[in-house]
Amino acid sequence: MSQGFVHSIKVPRLYKTAATIVKKVAEDGASLKQLIYEKNHPNLKGIYALATTTLQHGTDLNELIRETKLLINEPRLDPWLARVLITELIWGKRTIKGDAKPLHTILNYETKIRQVFETIDQHEKPQSTIKSTERKPRYVRINTLIKKLDEAIEDFQDEGYIFIPRSCTYHEYLDVLSTLDGWKFTQDYHIPELLVFASGTTFYDHLGYKNGAIILQDKASCLPAYLLNPESGSNVLDMCAAPGMKTTHLAAIIDNKGKVFSVERCQRRYEILCNQVSTTHANCVETMNVDAMTLNENKCPDVEYILVDPSCSGSGMQRFTFEGEQSKCAPGRLRSLQSFQVHLLRHALTKFSKVKRVVYSTCSIYPEENEMVVDEVLTNVGDAYKLVPVMTLLNDGWINLSSNEFKCKDNCLYAKPEVDYCNGFFVAVFERNFDVPLPEGRNKNKGLKRNAQDDCDEVDIKEEQSNDVQIDDNGKNLTVKVEESDEPVKKKRKKNKNKCNEVITQEVADEKLKEEDNADVTSKKKIKKEKKIDKSSGDNVDEQEIDINSNEMDIVSKKKHKKKKKDKINEEELIINNENEIISMEIEESNVSSKKKKHKKNKKDSNEGTIIEEGVDEDSTSKKKHKKKKKAKSDIE
């Protein structure tokens, strides 16, 4: 029986879609933004606002549902749809319109819901983490391939926005961001083509957003391409490119002069990447739908700059659970991610001899994915590369750096939401030392390749298909998965082997039958001449069961042989296969066994005075057989 309502009037798509997204985020830990942008819904902004608000007020919603006994009294009401509808009623539009039954059910409880809501202690809400998200400003990167920066600033001013000149120091810049509101906007301190607007400013309906002139991209996501800083006319490789923000930023930095190899393994994400490249007029980009671990100088010639931004835990993105708390990455999954990240970064550093600079970045705040990865790879490559202190690249205009507890010291960059007003991020910059040869290929890499790729598959399943990957906290997920996947394969192979044996057995049986028929045809001539049957075939028959005269047996056997052989000769051609000695031996044994059965059957028929003929077809020979039966019976009598 169905668990939900059977509607004569459908629930509005906005509510159904938001409910599905909230359920997957709450139950599976899926990415909220990824789920939203997967939906082909005309009102993505509305879905995002409704789903986000529902997740932020998870604790209040649970209490409202518990106190009103909504789901107890209405067991057929979908609990996640109920939460979305209550959110719309209390924190959204303050009303819900429609004739679908779930909407009417919530409206019937509206008075009770509002009464309970008034009694909820507002001070107990988990607002601390939500505030940091709400105050984060809106970043807009100007696509200089379509529009010049000065023109873009003038256009925004013409639309009524108030421009605040670029700050002189990073601390001054942070102060400006903390007070940015209304129609004010400014220019980023580090990245000139990045403009900063007040939190909550929307551009989804803006003409520049639709035609690719402006790109909604967080500052943390812009830092890797900015720090890689490829020269115009050079060849650049983006190893994990989708959805294409960093790739198109690199294309703008080199001004479409040169080439950007943009690589994405997942087919669906690859299509998104291609669409982004086309929209932004990044004509120098060559997209590649391949695994980054298969890349080399033959596939991507003359590469001088590489951006490595692999799959990660996303811990810097502030993804919230339904209770409004920061979601955490399982230790097992974290170790698996680290293994893949090390492998991919090592591949980038060692497989391209002309590379000058490599940037490694993650949207994670965990050392396991950041400093520990950098330390391990530096040990592998030796003096062939060195870390470039990011403070020298940013003119000392940064606050949070990597920890001195690691070998990489404070040479790497950390972006922290509560300080830098952007997503959590990590960036490390490697520069090639051409006086030292690159290390030779290591067998360890080859051994890790499959496991690393398996982990990449798991990460992509979680991030792209929105299904949580269950990974053992002990860090043995890859081994377990391989064992679980190998066992069905072995069973399948065994099954296929049995099936093959069955086919061979059937073929042997057919050959036996044909050989038997042929042998019987040959014996027919002997019967005519000798009027007796080969007694040797019945040596093992129980003598106590044979009481009939041998002459009677000869006659009955002769008649039966004639009838059976004639019928089978009419049905099919006789084929004799003498090539396999083993099959021939089995055929001989089968003939002996068959004759034993025939003798026993004939003896039984003789004692009863009736001979039962088997295998007789209803054809034109039935009359002759009937006469033969009568004659055999009279001979016996």
Mind telling me the catalytic residues? 363
Give Cα 322 distance to the centre of its chain: 24
**Amino acid residing at 278:** S
Give Cα 596 distance to the centre of its chain: 62
Contacts of 58 (CB under 8 A, 6+ apart): 26, 83, 321, 322, 323, 324
Assess contact for 220 and 423: CB atoms under 8 A.
Answer: yes
Taking the C-alpha atoms of residue 250 and residue 534, their distance in angstroms, rounded to an integer, is 93
309 labelled as ligand-binding? yes
**Amino acid residing at 138:** R
Element (H, E) at 540: none
What's the chain's length in residues?
637
Q: Is 612 helix (H, G, I), strand (E, B) or coil?
A: coil
Contacts of 390 (CB under 8 A, 6+ apart): 227, 398, 401, 411, 412, 413, 427, 428, 429
List of long-range contacts for 116-122, beta carbons under 8 Å, 24+ apart? 116/63, 116/64, 116/67, 116/68, 117/60, 117/64, 117/90, 120/60, 120/63, 120/64
**Per-residue CA distances from 587 to 536, 557, 573 (Å):** 16, 20, 18
154 labelled as ligand-binding? no
**Per-residue CA distances from 44 to 38, 40, 176, 209, 461 (Å):** 10, 8, 30, 14, 22
The residue assigned the tokens 């053992």 is 472
Taking the C-alpha atoms of residue 28 and residue 526, their distance in angstroms, rounded to an integer, is 81
b/e per residue 132-144 (b: at least 16 CB within 10 A): eeebbbbbbbbbb
Contacts of 443 (CB under 8 A, 6+ apart): none
**Per-residue CA distances from 575 to 234, 523, 586, 594 (Å):** 74, 16, 16, 19
Taking the C-alpha atoms of residue 61 and residue 16, their distance in angstroms, rounded to an integer, is 17
Assess contact for 77 and 102: CB atoms under 8 A.
Answer: yes
**Per-residue CA distances from 12 to 38, 58, 81, 95, 262 (Å):** 18, 22, 11, 14, 39
b/e per residue 455-467 (b: at least 16 CB within 10 A): bbbbbbebbbebe
554 labelled as ligand-binding? no
Return binding residues. 264, 291, 309
Return binding residues for S-adenosyl-L-methionine. 264, 291, 309
